[in-house]
Amino acid sequence: GQQLNQSPQSMFIQEGEDVSMNCTSSSIFNTWLWYKQDPGEGPVLLIALYKAGELTSNGRLTAQFGITRKDSFLNISASIPSDVGIYFCAGPQRNAGNMLTFGGGTRLMVKP
């Protein structure tokens, strides 16, 4: 089946720094979703992208839908301690009830 590869697997940054992470696939996706998961909680939807080249922001978060439709990027500006968590990209497979395929996640740690 389709697989999503996220990088980096983990990041340890200083508070106030900007963060970049990406997600790549060997297959084309028509939608990209970015979720954040805190320990012991379910994933929370951050941003949804629907069009190649689209750039969408949600506060300090900005995500882009890659032109090839095989990748997506998430940037966090001026990180704060509450940004700590695991960030997942996900893409729906329309031939299987819009089931979401998830990447392995990027674990973000922020040092105050």
Partner 1 sequence: ETGVTQSPTHLIKTRGQQVTLRCSSQSGHNTVSWYQQALGQGPQFIFQYYREEENGRGNFPPRFSGLQFPNYSSELNVNALELDDSALYLCASSLETDRQYFGPGTRLTVT
62 part of the interface to partner 1, by CB under 8 A: no
Cα distances from 16 to residues 11, 32, 50, 63, in angstroms, run 14, 27, 30, 19
Q: Is 101 in the site for partner 1 (CB under 8 A)?
A: yes
Which one among 33, 61, 63, 76 touches partner 1, defined by CB under 8 A?
A: 33
**Within 13 Å, how many C-alpha atoms sit on residue 80's CB side?**
4
What gap in Å lies between CA 52 and CA 41, rounded to an integer? 31
| Span near partner 1 by CB under 8 A; candidates 13-21, 57-65, 66-74, 86-94 | 86-94
Q: Would you tell me which residues interact with partner 1 (CB under 8 A)?
A: 1, 4, 31, 33, 35, 40-45, 48, 88, 90, 92, 96-105
